[in-house]
Amino acid sequence: MPNKLPVGILGATGIVGQRFIQLLEHHPWFEVAWLAASDRSEGRPYAEAARWRLKTAIPANVAKMSVVPAKPEGAPKIIFAALDAAIARELEPQFAAAGCAVVSNSSALRMQADVPLVIPEINPSDVRAEHRIFPVANCTAIILCMALAPIKLVAGLRSVRVATYQAASGAGRAGLEELQFGERAIVERTPEPQPTIFPASLARNVIPQVGSFDGEGYCDEENKVREETRKMLGIPELRVSVTTVRVPVRTAHSEAVWFKTERDTTVDELARAFNNAPGVVFHEHGIVTPREVEGTDLVHVARLRREDETSRRNFALWCVGDQLRKGAATNGVQILELLLQKGYVG
Catalytic residue among 100, 139, 145, 319: 139
Task: Supply angle C-alpha 316, 320, 324, rounded to 5.
Answer: 145
Q: Known catalytic residue: 139? A: yes
Known active-site residue 253: yes
Residue 80, beta-bridge partner list: 9, 103
Q: 197 — phi, psi (to 5°)?
A: -90, -45
Which of 219, 253, 300, 319 is catalytic? The answer is 253
Q: Contact at 8 Å (CB) between 244 and 253? A: no
8-state DSSP, 328:
I
Q: DSSP letter string over 193-234? A: PPPSSSSS--TT--BS-SS-B-TTS-BHHHHHHHHHHHHHHT
Selection from 318, 327, 208 nearest residue 257 by Cα = 318
Helix (H, G, I), strand (E, B) or coil at 34: strand
The CA–CA distances, whole Å, from 53 to 16, 50, 63, 83 equal 11, 7, 12, 18
Question: What backbone phi and psi angles, to 5 degrees, belong to 66?
Answer: -85, 140
Among candidates 104, 99, 170, which has minimal Cα distance to 135? 104
- Positions annotated as catalytic residues are 139, 253
